[in-house]
Amino acid sequence: MTETIQTAVVGVTGYAGAELARLLLRHPRLQGVPPVFAGRVDAKDLARGGVPLAEIHPQLAGGNGSGNLKLEPFSWELLAGRGVEVLFLATPHEQSRQWVPEALARGLRVIDLSGAWRLTEAANRAVYAFADEGSEQAAAIQAQAVYGLPELHRAQIAGARLVANPGCYATSIILGLKPLVAAGLVDLDHGIVADAKSGMSGAGKAPTARTHFMYAADNLSAYNVFTHRHTGELLEQIGVEQSQIVFTPHLLPIPRGILSTIYVWFHDPQTAATVSRVYREFFRSSPMIRLHDKTLPQIQYSLRTNYADIGFQLSADGRRAVVVSCLDNLLKGASSQAVENLNIMLGWGEAEGLE
């Protein structure tokens, strides 16, 4: 087992990147080995060796006198010079498509938080329109990528060189649905509805008409109906056809958190005890899942935690279930899940630094 390791993060200026920085800086295995933070640095900041992290994210600043971490200008030489072994990419997907080949060639292990390498089927990737789609190199890399949802692919993650960290909506819905589908309870042809609601950080940091406070506050809106990019992850990971599931994302007027309300019809009537047992067995080795028997989880349950919270309610006839699955989109939906993957890749406890 590795004692510790040098990590690097590209994309620390975004919301998920900031949370990833926070988690890595306090990870017990990484004490004394802070990540290298690398990215684009303006000419004027080059002179002072980069931008102090505390200027980018004031919340991350240390107390009076402490703290001196910087965002440094990215180069492969920087990473090599610092002995980086694991690279986190919290970058746009096109950038991840371009950088991952080089990173792997240089022997780095990569945890990519973007959508670049999550999808096995070309049809599901079509919505991304990757510039290198169809290339042999991309195909070869995709073939070795592991979908980084520990609850489903723990064993493969352990040995992976490239982990594709799941989408936030996808994580929420797959965790709520997979146990029931895997147990054969769900009548797929009856159709599954996944009505998901996400806080605004999911819309990214770029100022747009849609992220303007006046648009987002006191509002709720559905978007990308039938066309959201995370749909492919649902199809591939849950094992359903396009015609068997409808997924509708909505934008909530809160900073963060996702709640997915999932509707399924069963082949046969079920009892709450049976359904509860199915979940408990599926997640019996999963430390980042919290199951709720008595109440349905709410967004506040999982907010600023690294857990996914899952609960359900059956109709009186036991033929239908409403499943509620909550998580923090920047944590279990992004950066704490990336740390889980790091833990698994390095043989550490899956929940280390996350409880």
Q: Which two tokens stand for residue 254?
A: 């809160």
Gap between the Cα atoms of 293 and 309, Å rounded: 11
- Least spacing, CB of residue 23 vs its own copies, in Å: 13
Contacts of 304 (CB under 8 A, 6+ apart): 256, 328, 331
Shortest Å distance, C-beta 146 to its own copies: 22
Smaller CB separation from its own copies, 99 or 297: 297
CB 148 within 8 A of CB 166: yes
Q: Which residues pair with 290 in a beta bridge?
A: 309
H-helix or E-strand spanning residue 339: helix 336-345
- Smallest gap from residue 27 Cβ to its own copies (A): 13
Among the listed residues 152, 168, 181, 278, the single catalytic one is 168
Q: Which is nearer to its own copies, 10 or 192 (CB)?
A: 192
Of the two residues 53 and 216, which places its CB atom closer to its own copies in the complex? 216
* Bridge partner residues of 164 (DSSP): 112, 147
* Smallest separation, CB 138 to its own copies (Å): 26
To its own copies, the closest distance from the beta carbon of 203 in angstroms equals 8
Of 15 and 99, which CB lies nearer to its own copies in the complex structure?
15
Mark residue 227 as left, alpha or beta (left: phi above 0; alpha: psi -120 to 50; beta: remaining): alpha
Q: What strand order describes the sheet that includes 145-147?
A: 51-52, 70-73, 36-39, 7-10, 86-89, 109-112, 162-164, 145-147
- State the Cα–Cα distance between residues 48 and 186, nearest whole angstrom: 59
How would you label 175-205 residue by residue, b for 16+ Cβ within 10 Å and e otherwise?
Answer: bbbbbbbebebbbbeeebebbbbbbbbbeee
Class of residue 258 by CB neighbours under 10 A (exposed 0-12, middle 13-18, buried 19+)? buried
CB of 256 to its own copies, least distance (A): 8
Specify the residue, 63 or 159, whose C-beta has the smaller distance to its own copies.
Answer: 63
- Whether the Cβ atoms of residue 202 and residue 221 lie closer than 8 Å to each other: no
Nearer to its own copies, 130 or 247 (CB): 247
Q: What is the CA radius of gyration of the chain?
A: 20
- Token pair belonging to 30: 């990484």
Residue pair 173/325 in contact by the 8 Å Cβ criterion: yes
Q: Cβ closer to its own copies: 144 or 227?
A: 227
Shortest Cβ distance from residue 145 to its own copies (Å)? Answer: 27
326 carries an active-site annotation: no
User: At what angle are helices 272-282 and 168-182 packed, to 10 degrees?
Assistant: 120
**Active site residues per annotation:** 168
